[in-house]
Amino acid sequence: MKVHLVGFVGLLAGWLCTVQTGCAFKRKLHASIGVSSDGAVWSQEDAVAVLKRAAVSDDVTIRALALSALIRSSTEGGWLERGWFDPSPSVQRSVARNHAHRLSREHLFRPSADRLAVALALVERREEVTSWAPIPAHFETDELLAVLLGNPTVLLADVRDGMIPPEPLFVEVLRRSGIDGLGDVLAEGAGQAEQDMQLPLALTAFQLLPDKGEQALVEVLRDTDDLTKIFAVEALASLGDDQAAGWLRRVAKTDDAALRDHARMGLVALGLVPVDVAVQGLSFPDRDQRAWAATCLKLAAQNRPLPREAIAALQVAWRDESIMVRQAVTQALIEGAGVEFVPLGPLSSNTVLDAVAVMVAAKWFLVHQKSAPS
């Protein structure tokens, strides 16, 4: 169950299988107020060397990050084909999420392609797909793909009965499909679904139809365990609307210390309490709370610059013993200050790669591409 909930929260929060952009203004601002950059400048060659090594990694997460960055560069090297034909559904889904517009009819009609990757790529291209006659037979017999072709009847009945696969991405594709009446169906299905999909359905209903979705959310969380409530807090903070803020304010007054702290840091993400609350969370004993503190600072930075004290605290936290925390801190530094504020210099060819190194390489690669003359 927890794996699916983590996946759903990651989808809502925009978990980085892409590289954040738009930080140039923030970098100039923070440099001007005297924040020290502990990182070192990477050349494009430094970044490409890491990405090419990561593209053949046995670690699916690392491979997906690297291939997505390399595909962005050009068609050179066949990176799009390498990503789309990768045996891992996770890699194919990363390609679909980040490069849907570059996938051809032949790519998407391939029978062995991951169905959720195909659906994710097509969800914004439904009108285009209907002109691609003839449509492959496996499109018409797949309930999810049939939705994108304008035939949602069978799937909606299954969703209302809670009969959906345990895939958070399935729910995301549904949400983005724009089907009429979907909010009602999701709210009803939340109470019927298997336990691991009840929260994703209720939260998505809450996004689409707040009043009815809230009722479903109350029912799902009524007798659930503390960890599921934590996941709900994280998802609500990622939504960032007024209804979610109201929920977080109420949870921030609960007697449960861990849940209360999580909700208060979520309010930092929404800009409703000072960033000091999340900065303090970077030093909490619990690894998950430290990672959440960094994530909330990243979310906060998407709407306003982080103060220099927060950036300095993130640079200290970057050396955390937990790779999960370091990943979250790296994302926060990239979003809130710029990649040069990540205290990681260019890597030698024999350095063991992890997700942090690949994130940093991917961002430096994008920086050089944006600065290259057109």
- The per-residue pLDDT string of the chain (374 residues; one tens digit each, 9 = 90 and over) reads 455 555 545 555 443 333 333 443 343 444 433 455 666 799 999 999 999 999 999 999 999 999 999 998 765 669 999 999 999 999 999 999 999 999 999 999 999 999 999 999 998 787 787 788 788 888 878 888 888 777 788 889 999 999 988 888 999 999 998 888 999 999 999 999 998 899 999 999 999 999 899 999 999 998 888 889 999 999 999 988 888 899 999 999 999 999 999 999 999 999 999 999 999 999 999 999 999 999 999 999 998 999 999 999 999 999 999 999 999 999 999 999 999 999 999 999 999 999 999 999 999 999 998 876 65
pLDDT at position 19, please?
38
Helix (H, G, I), strand (E, B) or coil at 4: helix
Q: What is the pTM of this model?
A: 0.86
Spatial CA neighbour of 331 closest among 280, 303, 293: 293
pLDDT at position 29, please?
40
pLDDT at position 178, please?
85
Helix (H, G, I), strand (E, B) or coil at 158: helix
Determine the Cα angle at 194 with ends 236 and 151, to 5°: 85
Q: Which residues contact 286 (CB under 8 A, 6 or more apart)?
A: 258
pLDDT at position 373, please?
63
How far lies 284's CA from each of 84, 150, 226, 237, 261, in Å? 40, 49, 18, 19, 10
DSSP code of 193? S
pLDDT at position 33, please?
39
Structure tokens at 361: 């390489």
How large is the C-alpha radius of gyration of the chain?
Answer: 21
Q: How far apart are CA 60 and CA 65, in angstroms?
A: 9
